[in-house]
Structure 1
Amino acid sequence: MLGRRPGLPYPLVIGLLAALLCAAVTAGIAAGSIALPPGQVWGILAHRIHPVLAEPTWPVVRETIVMDVRLPRVLLCAVVGAGLSVCGMALQALVRNPLADPMLLGVSSGATVGAVCVVVFGVTVFGAFSLPVAAFAGALAALVAVYLLARSGGRMTTVRLVLAGVATAEVLSAVAGFLVVTSGDPHKTQSALRWMLGGLAGTTWPVVWVPAGAVVLGTAVLLGVSRPLNLLLAGEEAATALGLDVHRFRAALFVLVAVMIGTIVAVSGSIGFVGLIMPHVVRLLIGADHRRALPATALLGASFLIAADLFARTLITPEEIPVGIITALVGGPFFLWLMRRRSR
């Protein structure tokens, strides 16, 4: 695993990352087809918290833009970025592979199949929530498949987990591609492809709460098991010698991380590389201790995805680029650099 001795005091790093997140949130809300002054953005937010905190000197339409259009999207970006980053860090410890990321388990591909089925076949059983519900159901089905394939003799080894996840992801990606190619409707094909590339357009408040709850609770659990995660970094034999039931712990954490990923992907589509890049950047800053690294990873991941989404929706206005393209353009070169660094 990558990591080095921390060069900066931990409180300073957390403070800087919190300031970075605050700046990213401000920019994400202020920028758009109608630009808003940062001071006005915070004035609107303060007024909504309590009317005494700010005098409403802005047009009502601007308050609607902030509270009903941009703020839900920015918050969902923060939730998705933090969740993918935390899951990536946990997975890299669980499988002891620094190149592991949330897409490794095949859960994302399962969610993609569920979402593509809704788009291609026009399923509307759950109304506006049909797509996220189907995506989560697909993610859950993929989770069960990988879990069953990875277990052998009541145990789940790292090699079997990785192989089962990769194989399941490839098969499900092929299924999703087949459904898109044979849909025969260009509009449906385009909608499915845009979802597969990841995006957060059209986010509303009801969509935010479920993934936010899953990420907060999941991160809290991961923080609670920081010590066993640290033990895994030393190797399975060392962790077992120190009293950790490695196979049971890995199976339980695998389920937790997969459910978190399924919940996230159900509302955001497949957004790659976030869970790969952010853990490594944090380890370079403060080391590999999960008690310190997990909060920092969540803050950095949230800031990164807000910035990527801002870039995606303002680069060629009024068109919007799927945010997964932006994260891939950033993550691909980083992946290659990481491979070269490890080969040395």
Structure 2
Amino acid sequence: MIFGLGILLVIGLLGLSLATGEYSILSREDGWKMFQTVRIPRTIALVLSGAAMAMSGLVMQMVTRNRFVEPTTTGTTEWAGLGLLVCLVLWPHSSILVRMSVAVIFAFVGTGIFFALLQRVSLRSSLIVPIMGIMLGSVVSAISTFFALKTNALQSLGIWFQGSFTSVYAGQYEVLWFVLVVVVLVFLLANHLTVVGLGQDVATNVGLNYRQMMLAAMALIAVATGVVTVVVGSLPFLGLIVPNLVSLIMGDNLRTNLPWVCLAGIALVTACDLVARTLISPFEIPVAVILGMIGAIVFLVLIIRRAGAGA
């Protein structure tokens, strides 16, 4: 019953997304064409990117056993951006599919580096882990900025990381359908990922190949992050906000939480996009600004709650 109401809420938000815009699709002759070219792709992008990034955050939190990690607090997004920049400089006329592939590879490598560093840290405090990730992301971001300055690509780098759906239109967003595969695979591997989250010893004792499952989790996170970064840009803290809020309400059962995380991710990114489109209309605020503000507040609240629990 409650989940059904959630679905209705999301459908309502998506309907508002389709109806929102400065261009009048009803009074213009080419209104239907504009609707098909811009608004439908944008709404589909909201659904796919919201679900994928929220679920990526949940998977990352599960396998690291830390509620503070997600692609933007572990450097994964910055690695994807670096890959995108490298692709632009080396292959400036490459297709979006090639850019996506390079971004995914860099995101996979970056996630692997973060996990490797995590294995070498003896102090596994819940706060140390995201601090490590943020520091790693800052280093990668600095490298990207330096590289962009050297190659006159700083403006392009800024556009990619602003996290906005303004450039989503027919013919440009279709690679986002790849993240649908990620969503399906996360659902299929939910039980295995839950066991991996219990630790290597437990996973090995029940006959699960821990290393293979960690690589699979890294691949899922990398694909989702790389594809979304190429099409939309950075969506900060989306994978942090949604899984934590769902866990507070529903508990920590991964399989039970997955549909809610997926739904809440879509709802949050759509709501933020609607605010971004209407707050200073006819101009738009990058949706990353809205998400960043909400995410920062949630992050601080989680830290305070954890500190209070520790006290």
TM-score bin, normalised by smaller chain = 0.7 to 0.9
Aligned residue among 169, 176, 181 for 1:204? 169
TM-score, normalization: structure 1?
Answer: 0.77
Aligned residue among 93, 102, 106 for 2:62? 93
TM-score, normalization: structure 2?
Answer: 0.84
Match of 2:15 in 1: 26
Change (3 A) 1:215 1:295: farther
Q: In the TM superposition, what are the counterparts of 1:44-193 in structure 2 within 5 Å?
A: 60-116=29-85, 124-126=92-94, 129=95, 133-134=98-99, 136-144=101-109, 146-147=111-112, 150=115, 157=119, 159=121, 168-181=136-149, 189-193=154-158
In structure 2, C-alpha distance between the alignment counterparts of 1:122 and 1:140, rounded to whole Å = 15
Contact 2:168-2:232 at 8 Å conserved across structures: no
**Letter in structure 1 aligned against 2:62:** A
Q: Report whether the alignment pairs 1:303 with 2:267.
A: yes
Aligned residue among 271, 287, 290 for 1:323? 287
Q: Report whether the alignment pairs 1:291 with 2:255.
A: yes
Displacement after TM superposition at 1:282 (Å): 1.5
**Letter in structure 2 aligned against 1:211:** L
3-state SS of 1:206 partner: coil
Aligned residue among 185, 194, 201 for 2:159? 194
Displacement after TM superposition at 1:318 (Å): 2.6
Change (3 A) 1:226 1:198: same
The answer for unaligned runs of 5 or more in structure 1 is: 1-11, 41-57
Change (3 A) 1:316 1:117: farther
Aligned identity (percent) is: 27
Contact 1:110-1:140 at 8 Å conserved across structures: no
- Name the stretch that deviates more: 16-25 or 223-232: 223-232
3-state SS of 2:282 partner: coil
The answer for unaligned runs of 5 or more in structure 2 is: none
In structure 1, C-alpha distance between the alignment counterparts of 2:39 and 2:87, rounded to whole Å = 26
Cα-Cα RMSD: 3.0
Displacement after TM superposition at 1:294 (Å): 1.0
Change (3 A) 1:200 1:122: farther
Change (3 A) 1:337 1:312: same
**Letter in structure 2 aligned against 1:241:** N
3-state SS of 1:205 partner: coil
Contact 1:112-1:135 at 8 Å conserved across structures: no
- The total of aligned residue pairs comes to 302
Contact 1:82-1:302 at 8 Å conserved across structures: yes
